[in-house]
Structure 1
């Protein structure tokens, strides 16, 4: 969820590593493996991270991040219903 909201920024990776009690390099290695495997959440987070140019875009508020997640979930639900 944190990766979905914030992308693959270093701070995000460090926080996840701290919570899990592992090193940031372990998290980076796992993320790279998920990218290679084509995991949709990690792939989307990588795309968001690439779009952000340091200093050019301001950070999203929590409300904006929540809205983005809700929109994504709504789109995914609509797609699943259309497939049925």
Structure 2
């Protein structure tokens, strides 16, 4: 049995990105300003990564993504921001 294709409007994907950003921000505020004392914000933060993973996977699976250079652009951006984030992490 074949699974039906998931089709989302561009606005829905954009809204998911903003929801993920809000969830991640709440988690960071809880961790660094409130010393991780607010369990609701911690749990909300655990939802951010799966949302971001779904959005990037959905965007990479769009038709003609390879022809439009989406893979190359995405990998370059990930590399650039990984290097930037590694400096304060180390």
Do these two structures clear the TM 0.5 threshold for a shared fold by scoring above it?
no
Calculate the TM-score normalised by the size of structure 1: 0.32
Calculate the TM-score normalised by the size of structure 2: 0.31
The answer to which structure, 1 or 2, has the higher relative contact order (CA under 8 A, 6+ apart) is 1
